[in-house]
Structure 1
Amino acid sequence: MGNKPKSKSKSKADRKERRSAELDEISLLNEWIESQKPDSGSNPLALKPLPDNAPVGRLHDGSFSAYSAATKFSELPLSKKTMDALKKAGYVKMTEIQRASLPHALCGRDVLGAAKTGSGKTLAFVIPVVEKLHKERWGPEDGVGSIIISPTRELAGQLFDVLKTVGKFHNFSAGLLIGGRKDVEMEKERVNELNILVCTPGRLLQHMDETPNFECSQLQILVLDEADRILDVGFKKSLNAIVSQLPKHRQTMLFSATQTKSVQDLARLSLKDPEYISVHEKAESATPSRLQQTAMTVPLDQKLDMLWSFVKAHLNSKILVFLSTCKQVKFVYEAFKKLRPGIPLKCLHGRMKQERRINIYSQFCEQRSVLFCTDVAARGLDFNKAVDWVVQADCPDDVASYIHRVGRTARYLSGGRSVLFLTPSEMKMIDKLKAAKVPIQVIKVNGLFLMTEAVLLILFAI
């Protein structure tokens, strides 16, 4: 009993000391960020990287190191909590999109980030979100400080996992708000206490319309991931309704593999002199260099035969097969399942219940199999173990859709292969792809019917 007051006193002193240290760190970070702020419109990738073992932070003469030239996370003005989380997760060197965008994002600028799929865009916006709220000393009573909007439930779930990794040692509360879940009433009770929301547009709007006292008047950062899709016609009404309820004075970041420059889009989001960062705009290819891409003419009545032959020739691969509609996905999946090709088959489409979709996605991440899907799997999803092949059995609607689909393979430092089936009337797509700097090899096959395994192995140079 006698020791209790002493223990409380010590605990209070510890908290006071930690708080003082945190305030000192925030003051130092703000001074560093302000003193070395990159010029607006500048490209950090053009700067000479810091030498190995160069001093970082405040230097002997009282000045600070140039974080615009950083190539490692440890060279950025980040809090110890964020730095510890990145180290624990094994993040050391930055990718190009991270190097180019983080110096601008950390000093509070609006950012339009465009980079190839699999290039590390998620960390490029999650880190500034966590750091902004940390420096503002955001707490439960402050409400929603950041909203990250994703076009699909699966991608939102993936983003939430990255957020939990980066924010591991912070004290923010975060929530995943996506459709198809039964616990919407429980969400309504807790959503007002959350600091960071990762959500799909429909679910966020549902809370804005239905949840008592839910408001975002103190919002600090809005992020749109796969922004081109969210700005598209399908989400236009929802997005306009969401943005109308957000404060205009905020930081806004848009990231995608293919980015908008539409003045109308930027105006409706209230972007202020955004930094347009397209790290691969001058690259020779719009798709990853480790991706081998092939297209072939397949008559419509022989498409399923070709797909069957392809699957039979690649029984030891992980294959993602894109089809145009839910109905086609279900039909091809059921038909092939009855034929028993000798490899596990799965299907994924927008009409499936959320829990089922997440289970299938998780299973495909872990095992060799064929996943038949609609474009619900084309955006941003990162399958843990490399996808060997992306097969587009149906021609995509446009070049952007093609790029997003093939982006499920050859991610980060992995290689990958893709094949696009085109009917004779769809061959104009080849010209569009080449005009968009997509290096694709066209295979012409005459008299195609049921291809033998041997022929397929030669065609695709396995």
Structure 2
Amino acid sequence: MSFESLGLSEPLLKTIAEQNYTQPYPIQEAAIPAILKGNDVLGIAKTGSGKTASFVLPILELFQNKPAAANRHISALILVPTRELAVQVGVVFQTFGERLPRKVKTMAVYGGVSINPQMIGLQGVEILVATPGRLLDLLSYKALNISQTQILVLDEADKMLNLGFAEEMKDIFFLLPKNRQSILFSATLGDEIDQINKTQLKDPVRIEIEEEEQHIDQIKQTAYFVDPDRRGPLLRYLIKTQEMQQVLVFVSATRTADNLVEKLNKNGIQAMAMHSKKSQGARTEALNKFKSGKLTVLVATDLVARGIDIQFLPYVINFELPRSPKDYVHRIGRTGRAEASGQAISLICPEDVHHFKIIQKKMGKQVEMFESYDLELMGY
């Protein structure tokens, strides 16, 4: 199936081609026509399956035939769990909307930055990408109105619930009109997601994309046994000897992230940290540099990992293991996305061995293990 067959107009198709999208992913094949028809959609798909474009493209297409709403009345609302994802989705809207005859103003709003510029910037906005908390802040200041919103998208709804946004989401649902088109995307379908489906969606088109096993199989996983005091030198050894140009390193704590970045930079490896204690400006700068290839290493904690979406990321390294097997799969899933191959490397200290065995058992996949004790790490 081609993008031409999905009902999108020529200006959008030209931009799609310019962005090197050759053919739609399964979630896009199913969701785009359903959204264009005005149906509610329930999409169960893993991160990295191409779902952002699956709602951005049809929403932009629909807006070509919609009159502009009154100022500060939001016509399409996209709720997301994190600041990074808000920025990312906002950029996708702006990129695909660039060639359209009717210009549609899009804006991303999120916490962690001053609210005043956002309140001013909402002039003329028709499509708003927002985190739940900041949206409610703006509503409390009467900076916008969602009483006539025509389209609601809940992106990564399971993550929003996991981050404790359930009450905020209920408050937002109460303020939205009953008669609207609702689109819900989630990586999983639990009881809470099912409840939102039943109460907020009307006879939705259900789309379920099972890609996790295939996705993991595309990732070459390896691990190295290492003593704790040799873990830093081993990381630098791997980056330098394998000539890694773009590597995402995961740690468990913000202090570890900052210390690791300091050591990497001292050893001639460009690195920046991205975690919850960094300002939004610092996080955005680090992510932009990393995505553009100007930064070799991005060191991140799990809290901000969901917003890191890079289509062709070649390497992920677990400097420290996550707490759960699910988080491990999510981490390594930053590479090998959307049919691209990738490598995931884990550094396993003696106290990690048992936990790593559990991760492999839950994942249903054996990871190739290497000894590092015979590696000469002096000078790294």
TM-score, normalising length from structure 2?
0.85
Structure 1 residues 316, 172: CA separation in 2 closer, same or farther (over 3 Å shift)? Answer: closer
1:316-370 CA distances to partner (integer Å, 9 max, x unpaired)? Answer: 4321110112122112222443xx3332122111211222222211222223512
- Alignment match, 2:93: 163
CA distance in 1, matches of 2:103, 2:62: 13
Structure 1 residues 278, 286: CA separation in 2 closer, same or farther (over 3 Å shift)? Answer: farther
Q: How does 1:381-400 map to 2 (within 5 A)?
A: 381-383=308-310, 386-400=312-326
1:163-206 CA distances to partner (integer Å, 9 max, x unpaired)? Answer: 01222213222112122333x22322442631100122222121
Structure 1 residues 301, 344: CA separation in 2 closer, same or farther (over 3 Å shift)? Answer: closer
Whether the 8 Å contact between 1:311 and 1:341 is mirrored in structure 2 is: no
- Alignment match, 1:196: 127
Structure 1 residues 141, 363: CA separation in 2 closer, same or farther (over 3 Å shift)? Answer: closer
- Alignment match, 2:154: 224
CA displacement at 1:92 relative to structure 2: 4.2
CA distance in 1, matches of 2:17, 2:343: 32
Q: Residue type matched to 1:443 in 2?
A: M
1:229-278 CA distances to partner (integer Å, 9 max, x unpaired)? Answer: 1121433333333333222332222334x32x224333246123433323
- Alignment match, 1:143: 73
Matched, 1:287 2:215: yes
Whether the 8 Å contact between 1:149 and 1:224 is mirrored in structure 2 is: yes
CA distance in 2, matches of 1:305, 1:453: 6
SS at match of 1:231: helix
Higher relative contact order (CA 8 A, sep 6+): 2
Q: Residue type matched to 2:6 in 1?
A: L
1:393-423 CA distances to partner (integer Å, 9 max, x unpaired)? Answer: 2222333322332222223343210012345
SS at match of 1:371: strand
- Alignment match, 2:110: 178
Whether the 8 Å contact between 1:226 and 1:380 is mirrored in structure 2 is: no
CA displacement at 1:124 relative to structure 2: 0.6
SS at match of 1:321: strand
Q: How does 1:263-302 map to 2 (within 5 A)?
A: 263-268=191-196, 270-280=200-210, 285=213, 287-298=215-226, 300=228
CA distance in 1, matches of 2:370, 2:205: 44
Q: Residue type matched to 1:205 in 2?
A: L
Whether the 8 Å contact between 2:226 and 2:373 is mirrored in structure 1 is: no
Whether the 8 Å contact between 2:78 and 2:154 is mirrored in structure 1 is: yes
Matched, 1:255 2:185: yes
Matched, 1:403 2:329: yes
Q: Residue type matched to 2:273 in 1?
A: C
SS at match of 1:123: helix
Matched, 1:206 2:137: yes
Matched, 1:452 2:376: yes
Q: CA RMSD in A?
A: 3.0
CA displacement at 1:288 relative to structure 2: 4.6
CA distance in 2, matches of 1:80, 1:347: 41
User: Aligned residues: percent identity?
Assistant: 31
1:91-147 CA distances to partner (integer Å, 9 max, x unpaired)? Answer: 442112211322333222332323344332211111222233334434455821111
When structure 1 is superposed on structure 2, of 323-332 and 266-275 the one drifting more is 266-275
CA distance in 2, matches of 1:173, 1:297: 52
List gaps (5 residues or longer) in structure 2.
Answer: none
Whether the 8 Å contact between 2:82 and 2:307 is mirrored in structure 1 is: no
Q: Which structure is larger by alpha-carbon Rg, 1 or 2?
A: 1
- Alignment match, 2:235: 307
Q: Residue type matched to 2:215 in 1?
A: T
SS at match of 1:244: helix
Q: How does 1:313-332 map to 2 (within 5 A)?
A: 313-332=241-260
Structure 1 residues 412, 126: CA separation in 2 closer, same or farther (over 3 Å shift)? Answer: same
List gaps (5 residues or longer) in structure 1.
Answer: 1-70, 455-462
Q: Residue type matched to 1:387 in 2?
A: L
Whether the 8 Å contact between 1:319 and 1:391 is mirrored in structure 2 is: yes
Structure 1 residues 245, 345: CA separation in 2 closer, same or farther (over 3 Å shift)? Answer: same
Matched, 1:363 2:289: yes
SS at match of 2:137: helix
SS at match of 1:317: coil
1:46-83 CA distances to partner (integer Å, 9 max, x unpaired)? Answer: xxxxxxxxxxxxxxxxxxxxxxxxx1111122344434
- Alignment match, 1:354: 280
SS at match of 2:43: strand
1:426-448 CA distances to partner (integer Å, 9 max, x unpaired)? Answer: 534544554445x4414163xx5
SS at match of 1:324: coil
Whether the 8 Å contact between 2:150 and 2:180 is mirrored in structure 1 is: yes
Structure 1 residues 299, 287: CA separation in 2 closer, same or farther (over 3 Å shift)? Answer: farther
CA distance in 2, matches of 1:433, 1:346: 30
SS at match of 1:78: coil
Whether the 8 Å contact between 2:8 and 2:58 is mirrored in structure 1 is: no
Q: How does 1:227-242 map to 2 (within 5 A)?
A: 227-242=157-172
CA displacement at 1:303 relative to structure 2: 3.9
When structure 1 is superposed on structure 2, of 140-149 and 300-309 the one drifting more is 300-309
CA distance in 2, matches of 1:181, 1:230: 20
